[in-house]
Structure 1
Amino acid sequence: MTDQNNDQLGVLFVCLGNICRSTMAEAVFKDIAHEKGFHNRWFVDSAGTSSYNIGCPPDERTLTVLGKFKINNYRHVARQVKPEDFQKYDFILGMDKENIKKLNSMKPKNCKAKVELFGSYDPEGGDIIEDPYYERGMDAFINVYKQCRRASIAFINKYTVV
């Protein structure tokens, strides 16, 4: 994660376990921000609402799909959302309605972060980024990648001031 400075906006991607969707979103977002020359304008991380996978690397299928799309340098260790995240980040983007419900229940009264569905930025619709964990094969992970890419581009275009 990049150290925050006053000129940056922060975004935290959140799913249940922080090994599939949120890690995919983090890696894709960072890649697109770098591609567009906006990487210094954002600090980005991902986390889970549960403690299931704390300390684990991303799911191998996530890393395989990222590699397929030439994102080979992504490293992450799963963590759980912390109370201070609501002050540190400008945006906390959940992958599904259960994530949003959990985030809203964790949100302190003095929350700085805007909590939203990440998929709501996907210009092709479909607010929910479905969990690919229990799916066979790679198709579900590729679909998550594509949805994260579309939503990331739209989000960056909306919030990055040139």
Structure 2
Amino acid sequence: MAGGQQSVLFVCLGNICRSPIAEAIFRKLATDQGIINKWKIDSAATSTYEIGNPADQRGQRCLMKHGITTNHIARQVTKNDFLTFDYMLCMDESNLRDLKRMAEKVKNYKSEIKLLGSFDPQNHLYIQDPYYGNDADFEDVYQQCLRCCTAFLESST
């Protein structure tokens, strides 16, 4: 994909905790490396639970602590996403199953559907949902997303 724009969609269940954190981290990494214009970056949900809601306040606080902000509003994955995004990186096995099931209904989809954790140098395959957890759980998600997004960006440029 050298020269052209690449695209990545981060996906979790509700699109208010894990995927907006991953999206915000990846956007910051690409910005810091001066390649933001080479990327289309977004995040979405497999479910309809949180559509229209902003990112979880705890996740936003965690990001701000690391100098990152997000104004993402939750949305659900669409059929068009499978046709337009090069990569769909999701957080756990249930997201992966849901995405693959949705992809089967889309003719000639082009997205490569993978676990974001498959890029983790520490080999933590799943990024656990911090929704019912505390600030420490959000920090864990942040650190894992940071490792994974850094490795993904290196592998794709």
**TM class, shorter-chain normalised?**
over 0.9
Tell me by how many angstroms 1:36 deviates: 1.3
Tell me by how many angstroms 1:111 deviates: 1.1
Cα offsets for 1:13-40 (capped at 9, x unmatched): 0000000000000000000111111211
Q: Which stretches in structure 2 are left out of the alignment for 5+ residues? A: none
* AA partner of residue 104 (structure 1): K
The equivalent position to 1:105 in structure 2, one of 101, 104, 107, is 101
The equivalent position to 1:10 in structure 2, one of 7, 10, 13, is 7
SS at match of 1:92: strand
Distance (Å, rounded) in 1 between the aligned partners of 2:109 and 2:124: 27
Q: Which stretches in structure 1 are left out of the alignment for 5+ residues? A: 1-5
**Would you say 1:76 and 2:72 are equivalent positions?**
yes
In the alignment, which residue of structure 2 is the partner of 1:88?
84
* AA partner of residue 131 (structure 1): D
What percentage of residue pairs aligned between the two structures are identical? Answer: 46
Distance (Å, rounded) in 2 between the aligned partners of 1:10 and 1:127: 22
Aligned positions, number? 153
Tell me by how many angstroms 1:127 deviates: 0.8
In the alignment, which residue of structure 2 is the partner of 1:32?
29
Distance (Å, rounded) in 1 between the aligned partners of 2:22 and 2:146: 8
Scaled by the length of structure 1, the TM-score of the pair is 0.92
SS at match of 1:84: helix
CA-based RMSD = 0.9
Cα offsets for 1:40-72 (capped at 9, x unmatched): 111100000000000000000010000000003
Q: Which runs of 4+ in 1 moved over 4 A?
A: none
* AA partner of residue 83 (structure 1): K
Matches within 5 A, 1:135-146: 135=133, 137-146=134-143
Scaled by the length of structure 2, the TM-score of the pair is 0.95
Distance (Å, rounded) in 1 between the aligned partners of 2:109 and 2:121: 28
